[in-house]
Amino acid sequence: KPRRMVVVRAEAINPDIKKDEAKVVDSVLVTELSKPLTAYCRCWRSGTFPLCDGSHVKHNKETGDNVGPLLLKKQ
């Protein structure tokens, strides 16, 4: 099994989302989800942050990273 090389850089993980705020926090009441499945971004690259728009795929290809969204499912 090939081993992955992990490169750790000392830089901000958030490139440009809500940089005027001291800390970015989003909260969601799961009972209020309108769709059966909602994907929330964890790569900080989404153009629709806090929702995932698939930008993590490009980020992972370019960097060798392995980030993906948080999936919330409505019961």
Contact positions vs ligand FES (CB under 6 A): 41-43, 45-46, 52-56, 67-69
Q: Is the peptide bond before 50 cis (omega within 30 degrees of 0)?
A: yes
Active site residue 23: yes
Which candidate in 23, 35, 58, 61 is catalytic? 23
C-beta closer to ligand FES: residue 68 or 72? 68
Calculated CA dihedral for residues 12, 45, 42, 74, nearest 10 degrees: 160
Which residue, 33 or 65, has its beta carbon nearer to ligand FES?
65
- Contact at 8 Å (CB) between 74 and 37? yes
Active site residues: 23
